[in-house]
Amino acid sequence: MFNITIKYFGFLKHIPLLPHLFDSFMKISILFSNKHTLDYIDEIENEVLSWNNTTVHLHKFGGIQFDVNKKEIGHIHSNGILDILFSREIKTQLIKQGKATEHHTIKNSGWITLHIKTDEDKITAIQLLRDSYSRKFTSPSPL
Amino acid sequence: MYQSRNAKLTLGIIVPNFVSLTFIGISKFAVDLLIKIKTDDYTAEGGTTLFVFSVFFVIPLVMGITSAYFWKDLGFKNIRYVTWSLLNTLIAILMSAIFLKEGIICLIIVSPVIFGCIVSGAFIGKVMFRRKNNTLNSSIIGILLVIFSADLFSKHQYTNKVTDTIIINAPINKVWQYVVEYAPITEKENYWLFQVGMPSPIQSTVDGHCVGAGRKCIFSNGYTFDEKMIVYKPNQELTFDITNQPRDPEIMGHIDILRGQFILKDNGNGTTTVTGNSWYKLYVFPVWYFDIWAESITRNVHLRVMEHIKTLSETNV
């Protein structure tokens, strides 16, 4: 459903609020199909926000985006799809290790995707986000 | 601490409903103002005004966002946002029944949209009001206000025609008499909205057989549509304008049935093809959602009448 919508109606993502509405409806639908995914997202969100200088806001195409010092760590769509941007070398390694797959739409890039469905996926997601956080984190100068 | 938690939870229910009533009041006021400028676009028969897209989408979204503001410190998980938003939806629907005098069928039709948008608003608000959100996403409120204003002042006019066809195993002159008027329908309802209480057609009577004659379509709750024949061609065509429709809360201000038509065609083999057409004007928006329902209801009214005409014609051949 998600992939079909992205493939054929992806151009609608630029209409203000529509991606957020779509994401919310995905969240409602996943409540009936795999409600644990929503708990995993809650837990990941709480974990990431416990790290220094992290912030959260709505992702422009629906879901929540985590930043550190205004750089994106990664974002999660409400159907449990985690997207993170790494370098292409790291992406290749992660895919080889089975920790992630090609990004669900942007293939020719460093973007990776992880479908969070189980407790193990949640742990992997936190590891990947932590890795991304470490790479993007630069300590702010003390005030 | 516990009292403060309960207070925030309660405020997250009371305030959004108050906000929604205020916004509905504003939209009603604006639409009333527009009626004075251009009556045809905004007024249904009997003076009831239309319900714009914002009432069903923007206002519930704002309700959800307002709830999330009060619930932001309660540490709710996603599932709690859904359950409390469900309560908010039920209260909003109850208030619509009390203050807007909406009928049960209308409320059944709008409730999935209202619920979806209230929950969406709550989810959006949850992230917006996160302590660690450094952007606040305040542009969302701006976008909603722009949509609300643009919606109020944009043109709202939509008419549609629904067509259904049935083949009856009877000669055309036999079918014609039942097209013009028919005895009460006694068959069980098989459309779910009729089964849950929506009035269905049961009988049609006429006071003459010529152009200008009156026709009445009587519904199961006793309500009557008054019709006037504008085309009366025996064994060919019956077209009638609706001159008066019941002041039913399910219909008032939502839809005007404008015209009905039956066209008969002799198939040359003892059978007759009957085509039923209905024209209506909608006063609830967005049409991409409400017209699905309007078409479905009109189609099932057609089919109930046409199946009955088929039964009568084929039984009495």
CATH of the domain at B235: 3.30.530.20
CATH number at residue A128: 3.90.1150
Is A142 among the domain residues?
no
Beta strands in A1-143 (DSSP E): 54-58, 64-68, 71-76, 81-85, 101-102, 111-115
ipTM: 0.80
Q: Domain count for chain B, please give it.
A: 2
B143 contacts chain A (CB < 8 A): yes
**Same domain assignment for residues B166 and B43:** no
A49 contacts chain B (CB < 8 A): yes
Chain B residues within 8 A of A56 when measuring between CB atoms: 127, 130, 132-133
Confidence of residue B17 (pLDDT cuts 50, 70, 90): very high
Q: What does the pLDDT read at residue A142? A: 41
Residue with the larger pLDDT of the pair B13 and B34: B13
Confidence of residue B2 (pLDDT cuts 50, 70, 90): low
Q: What does the pLDDT read at residue B1? A: 57
Q: What is the largest CA-CA distance in chain A?
A: 49
Q: What percent of chain B has pLDDT over 70?
A: 89
- Please, what is the average pLDDT of chain A? 88
Positive or negative, the CA dihedral A76, A77, A82, A83 is negative
B113 contacts chain A (CB < 8 A): no
Confidence of residue B246 (pLDDT cuts 50, 70, 90): confident
Is A143 among the domain residues?
no
**Mutation choice for B interface testing from A9, A18, A21 by most B CBs within 10 A:** A21
Give the domain-ending residue among B120, B153, B186. Answer: B153
**Same domain assignment for residues B217 and B128:** no
Minimal CA–CA distance to A6: which of A106, A114, A111, A91?
A106
**Same domain assignment for residues B144 and B165:** no
Q: What does the pLDDT read at residue B41? A: 52
Distance from CA of B283 to the nearest CA of A (A): 24
The two tokens of residue B177 are 């008499």
Q: What does the pLDDT read at residue B137? A: 63
**Same domain assignment for residues B184 and B37:** no
Distance from CA of A87 to the nearest CA of B (A): 26
Region B142-160: mean pLDDT is 81
Residue B60 to residue B155: CA distance in whole angstroms: 22
Backbone angles phi, psi at A101, to 5 degrees: -125, 175
A68 contacts chain B (CB < 8 A): no
Distance from CA of A73 to the nearest CA of B (A): 14
A20 contacts chain B (CB < 8 A): yes
Q: Which of A55-59, A82-86, B155-159 has the highest mean pLDDT?
A: A82-86
Q: What does the pLDDT read at residue B284? A: 84
**Same domain assignment for residues B207 and B239:** yes
Domain that holds residue B107: 2-153
Q: What does the pLDDT read at residue A89? A: 94
**Mutation choice for A interface testing from B61, B120, B147 by most A CBs within 10 A:** B120
From A30, which residue of chain B is nearest by alpha-carbon distance? Answer: B79
In this model, does residue B317 exceed pLDDT 90? no
Q: What percent of chain B has pLDDT over 90?
A: 57
Distance from CA of A96 to the nearest CA of B (A): 33
Domain that holds residue A66: 2-136
Q: What does the pLDDT read at residue A1? A: 67
B123 contacts chain A (CB < 8 A): yes
From A41, which residue of chain B is nearest by alpha-carbon distance? Answer: B78
- Please, what is the average pLDDT of chain B? 87
Region A16-30: mean pLDDT is 86
In this model, does residue B26 exceed pLDDT 90? no
The two tokens of residue B98 are 């009390």
B79–A39 CB contact, under 8 Å: yes
Is A63 among the domain residues?
yes
B119 contacts chain A (CB < 8 A): yes
pLDDT digits (tens, 9 = 90+) for B73-111: 998 988 899 999 999 999 999 988 888 778 888 888 889
Q: Which of A13-22, A45-54, B79-88, B260-269 has the lowest mean pLDDT?
A: A13-22
Is A9 among the domain residues?
yes
**Same domain assignment for residues B96 and B38:** yes
Distance from CA of A46 to the nearest CA of B (A): 10
Is A42 among the domain residues?
yes
Q: What does the pLDDT read at residue B54? A: 80
**Same domain assignment for residues B201 and B288:** yes
Give the domain-ending residue among B107, B125, B153. Answer: B153
A78 contacts chain B (CB < 8 A): yes
Q: Provide the chain B residues 166-205 that lie in CB contact (below 8 A) with chain A.
A: none
Q: What does the pLDDT read at residue B140? A: 79
Task: Please say whether the beta carbons of B249 and B98 come within 8 A.
Answer: no
Give the domain-ending residue among B153, B174, B195. Answer: B153
Q: What does the pLDDT read at residue B49? A: 56
**Same domain assignment for residues B68 and B139:** yes
**Same domain assignment for residues B40 and B122:** yes
Q: What does the pLDDT read at residue B46? A: 47
Question: Between A and B, how many residue pairs show a Cβ–Cβ distance under 8 A?
Answer: 67
Q: What does the pLDDT read at residue B252? A: 64
Residue B142 to residue B148: CA distance in whole angstroms: 10
A15 contacts chain B (CB < 8 A): no
In this model, does residue A3 exceed pLDDT 90? no
Q: What does the pLDDT read at residue B136? A: 59
**Same domain assignment for residues B228 and B131:** no
In this model, does residue A74 exceed pLDDT 90? yes
Q: What does the pLDDT read at residue B292? A: 94
Confidence of residue A143 (pLDDT cuts 50, 70, 90): very low
Confidence of residue B39 (pLDDT cuts 50, 70, 90): low
User: What Å distances lie between residue A37 and A66, A76, A129, B184, B286, CA to CA?
Assistant: 18, 11, 17, 54, 32
Q: Domain count for chain A, please give it.
A: 1
**Same domain assignment for residues B196 and B115:** no
Q: What does the pLDDT read at residue B24? A: 82
